[in-house]
């Protein structure tokens, strides 16, 4: 009887977890670069590979933009709609020009920083 209850418990758990994945993983569109922290004009002594910079496009950028629960602003550089949380920035371009997001990861500190300059 006890083995039957354990087996039934595992069966019920398997049925409920099989249809509900923890995440809906998707492919990415965009570009990345390994750069120094100050990539536009780095000091000579600065490591050349301290930051992983991302520029996301397409569905990933749209989904990230929509997940940012902040008010839209206007981006001063492009005129596009902007959402920004900390240093992570996402743009929604008018018409069919789509979405773009940019940010960097400081590899050693595991923190988010700015992605690209204006």
46-50-55-61 Cα dihedral, nearest 10 degrees? -140
| pLDDT higher than 90, residue 4 | no
Q: What is the C-alpha separation between 118 and 113, in angstroms, rounded? A: 14
pLDDT category at 72 given cuts 50, 70, 90 is very high
**DSSP state, 80?**
-
| pLDDT higher than 70, residue 81 | yes
Q: Flag whether the pTM goes above 0.75.
A: yes
Q: What are phi and psi of 52, to 5 degrees?
A: -100, 110
CA contacts within 13 A on the Cβ side of 96: 0
| pLDDT higher than 50, residue 9 | no
């Amino acid at each position: 009887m006890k083995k039957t209850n354990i087996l039934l418990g595992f069966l019920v758990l398997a049925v409920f977890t099989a249809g509900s994945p923890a995440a809906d993983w998707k492919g990415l569109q965009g570009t990345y670069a390994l750069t120094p922290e100050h990539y536009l004009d780095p000091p000579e002594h600065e490591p050349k590979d301290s930051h992983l910079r991302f520029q996301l496009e397409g569905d990933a950028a749209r989904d990230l933009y929509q997940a940012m629960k902040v008010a839209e602003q206007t981006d001063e550089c492009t005129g596009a709609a902007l959402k920004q949380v900390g240093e992570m920035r996402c743009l929604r371009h008018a018409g069919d020009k789509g979405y773009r997001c940019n940010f960097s990861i400081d590899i050693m500190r595991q923190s988010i920083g700015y992605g690209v300059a204006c």
